[in-house]
Amino acid sequence: MNRSTPDARAKRGHRPTAAAARSGGRQARAARGEAVAGRLGDLYPASRCSLDFRSPLELLLATILSAQCTDRRVNLVTPELFRRWPTAAALSAARQEEVEGVIHSTGFFRAKAKNLLGCCQALVERHGGEVPVTLAELVTLPGVGRKTANVVLGVGFGRAEGIVVDTHVGRICRRLDLTRRTDAVGAERDLVTVVPPDRWIVFSHQLIDHGRAVCLARRPRCTGCGLADLCPQRGVPAPAGTPVAPRGTALGHGKDGSGGVQSRRVGRQPGRKPRRNVP
């Protein structure tokens, strides 16, 4: 695994070129990962976690609440949650119905309240009310998976043990062909082999910002995208109005179902079932 920083490699003349990053193969994917990480640093130098928190415990609880919910919505309810139950011990002893009332607007409030209480009870019983600092311990807490654990470790403790893969990160990394996995754990396993370790924490925040502003789920704004020269746009539908060659031509839809402008962009092979565009 390449552990030198993109900047250091660039100074030594090793920064991958866009052409190298665009080409196929495992080496090209690694070059593309490094080039994308470097470019994101240029494009989004101020990216950060958008959840409000003052301690690792608050970050942990806010991240549990952020499942299927916007960070902005979470930030609206956490001040009251943290005011009424400021410690793990206090929240572990709260009545679930009261917690549900406070976090109701974040959705899935019953399951989330149960997880908050269960998580705090486990923190009190097993960790003296403190948030543990290893992935292995964090993922044993109720409501905490790899994504939440990586957020807490990276943002709360500055420890890069993995890469946070949410819907934005997964979608954009598939379009960039840094992974083809649709499950978060598999995608993370691919990403840690192509993104320099010193970028693991900020990489997710930058991609989330890019996903909100440019690489939108339904209509990515590829024209003018700062990553366009590095991006194979895998699975991205052709823009409306793109001419499709007639059937039977080299680029058209032949009898075997192959070809066509859009399917060429998603790398469809003759005789194979068409791939669904991955959001």
Report, as residue numbers or ranges, the catalytic residues.
147, 166
Binding mask 204-243 vs ligand SF4 (x if CB under 6 A, - otherwise)? ----------xx----xxx--x-xx--x-x--x-------
Instruction: Please report how close the Cβ of residue 40 comes to ligand SF4 at its closest, in angstroms.
Output: 10
Which residue lies nearer to ligand SF4 by CB, 222 or 261? 222
Determine phi and psi for 12, rounding to 5 degrees.
Answer: -85, 5
Instruction: Please report how close the Cβ of residue 188 comes to ligand SF4 at its closest, in angstroms.
Output: 19
Instruction: Please report how close the Cβ of residue 217 comes to ligand SF4 at its closest, in angstroms.
Output: 10
Question: Distance between CA atoms of 57 and 132, rounded to whole angstroms?
Answer: 10
47 Cβ neighbours under 8 A, 6+ residues apart:
40, 202, 205, 206, 208, 209
Interactions with ligand SF4, residue window 144-203 (CB under 6 A):
172, 175-176
Which residue lies nearer to ligand SF4 by CB, 21 or 77? 21
Question: Distance between CA atoms of 157 and 164, rounded to whole angstroms?
Answer: 14
171 Cβ neighbours under 8 A, 6+ residues apart:
211, 215, 217, 278, 279
Instruction: Please report how close the Cβ of residue 28 comes to ligand SF4 at its closest, in angstroms.
Output: 15
* Closest to 63 in 3D by CA, of 155, 170, 168, 158: 155
Which residue lies nearer to ligand SF4 by CB, 32 or 112? 32
Which residue lies nearer to ligand SF4 by CB, 60 or 172? 172
Residue showing tokens 């370790």: 197
Residue showing tokens 């916007």: 70
Q: Which helix (H) or strand (E) holds 91?
A: helix 88-92
Binding mask 32-71 vs ligand SF4 (x if CB under 6 A, - otherwise)? ----------------------------------------
**Three-class SS of residue 83?**
helix
Instruction: Please report how close the Cβ of residue 250 comes to ligand SF4 at its closest, in angstroms.
Output: 25
Which residue lies nearer to ligand SF4 by CB, 141 or 173? 173
Quote the tokens at residue 60.
């942990």
Residue ranges that bind ligand SF4, judged by CB under 6 A: 172, 175-176, 214-215, 220-222, 225, 227-228, 231, 233, 236
